[in-house]
Amino acid sequence: MADASADYHHGDQNIQEQVATYAAFGSLSKWASLVVATGVLVLSLWFCLGADFLSGLIPGVVVFALGVVFLRSKPAQAH
């Protein structure tokens, strides 16, 4: 039993899969949040205010386009 703890060396394990999973989860979360927020906006304007479909769709498209612009991945800057 004492030998099992001696096999572990702190900082020696490859964490590339965890880093990739974390990055994928963050990316999926931000894009899913944009889609949900746009959907809530469109449906709220369409049904709750009694407006027609285009009165909800046009602001939704604008919000989605702005979200895409601001949430895009930025190129890495060289130091």
Contacts of 30 (CB under 8 A, 6+ apart): 71
Please check whether residue 38 is in contact with residue 60, taking contact to mean a CB–CB distance below 8 angstroms.
Answer: yes
pLDDT of 64 higher than 70: yes
Break the chain into its structural domains and give their ranges.
34-72
Of the listed ranges 2-6, 10-14, 48-52, 60-64, the least confidently predicted one is: 2-6
Q: Looking at residue 11, what is its pLDDT?
A: 74
Q: What is the pLDDT of residues 7-46, one digit of tens each?
A: 767 777 788 899 999 999 999 999 999 999 999 999 999 8
Q: Is there a contact between 31 and 45 (Cβ–Cβ < 8 Å)?
A: no
Compute the average pLDDT of residues 54-71.
Answer: 94
Residue 14, pLDDT score = 82
Q: Please report where in the chains the tokens 């944009």 appear, as a residue.
A: 34
